[in-house]
Amino acid sequence: KPFPLGMVLSACPEIVNYGPGGHVTSWRDLMSAAIVVRSMLGVSPSAYEEACGILGPENAATVIACILERAGHINSAGGYLRDLSRRAERGEFSLGPMLMAQMRGQAGAKVGTTSKAG
């Protein structure tokens, strides 16, 4: 079951730029954006299809959005997605903690830009 779209976009705002017309207002928009980003990150169609089959299309798109946010820290987005898919298949990966960590990172980034050092 997918997380609320608003939560995903709050945690992963960069994906919005790749939606139709630079907007993401529905799951369909997010999944379209994920396909653009998948290609941009060098994730093969087969790795993404595998993730969609295991996680479901909404959750696979959410994982791509999370990977986009951390692209500078991930050497192989395709390898990472395949690893997460395999772990999910074995019941060793849940999207919730990944999304929550991303939300905390966004909140920290916002606080960091507005607070003064004490």
d(C-alpha 43, C-alpha 112), whole Å: 32
- Please say whether the beta carbons of 5 and 26 come within 8 A: yes
CA proximity to 63, closest of 101, 35, 95: 95
What single letter denotes the amino acid at residue 92?
E
CB 67 within 8 A of CB 80: yes
Tens digits of residue pLDDT in 24-79: 999 999 999 999 999 999 999 999 999 999 999 999 999 999 999 999 999 999 99
Taking the model in full, what pTM does it have?
Answer: 0.91
- The domain locations on the chain are 5-105
Kindly list the distances between the CA atom of residue 86 and the CA atoms of 4, 54, 77, in Å, as whole numbers in the listed order. 24, 8, 14
The residue-averaged pLDDT of 4-21 equals: 97
Integer Rg of the chain from CA: 14
